A and B are shown apart, each in its own frame.
Chain A
Amino acid sequence: QKEVEQNSGPLSVPEGAIASLNCTYSDRGSQSFFWYRQYSGKSPELIMSIYSNGDKEDGRFTAQLNKASQYVSLLIRDSQPSDSATYLCAVNMAYSGAGSYQLTFGKGTKLSVIP
């Protein structure tokens, strides 16, 4: 069973702090990794993608990937109340056949940034 695991939270951080979100995945052959933000009642919004081991920074967001540990994380610096949302980890995992990959989502971590 191909799984993506996230702590459901809620994760509460004060405004201005760093929020750290974590994700593990089961398929060692996974190719690409994404973080989506989802506000209540809205669709997933892509905020970060990462394809190789290490860190990738984009503004206040840093994605970290460790394929050996099958672990992906997202850091949000200087957290703002507008960052309060559910953060979905999504992994492109091998699907039914060779060369076939599909996006598998975790259940998401609910982040609450307290003013």
Chain B
Amino acid sequence: EPEVTQTPSHQVTQMGQEVILRCVPISNHLYFYWYRQILGQKVEFLVSFYNNEISEKSEIFDDQFSVERPDGSNFTLKIRSTKLEDSAMYFCASSEGISYEQYFGPGTRLTVT
């Protein structure tokens, strides 16, 4: 069964460093998403991506964040200068269409020290 994959599973970085989180969405899906979940809190939408451009972004997704689809399979989230409060689980998801089921990857646990 096709699934969303994410790497790395755990990333530890120092405050102010750049990190890139990687995702491979399900191959026939057209919409891609990033969410984050701070420990003990709810899953929060960050950004959606369709047709090689951002379709929506939340207030959390400020200028420190960017997304890219560098090739036909990968979808990346970059945080330019990490802050302590960026420590969270980051989930990638994909769907066949808008308002369709979204399937989540296993997540990347980001720890900023």
Contact = CB atoms under 8 A, between A and B. Distances in A.
Interface string B74-113: 0000000000000001010000001111111111000000
Contacts of A104: 45
A105 interface: yes
Interface residues of B, number: 22
Main DSSP-derived SS at the B contact region = loop
Contact of B42 (A32, A92, A108): A108
Interface in A24-47: 31-32, 34, 36, 42-46
B43 interface: yes
A8 to B, nearest CB: 10
Main DSSP-derived SS at the A contact region = strand
Q: Interface size bucket, A side? A: 20 to 34
Interface of A: 31-32, 34, 36, 42-46, 49, 88, 90, 92, 95-96, 100-108
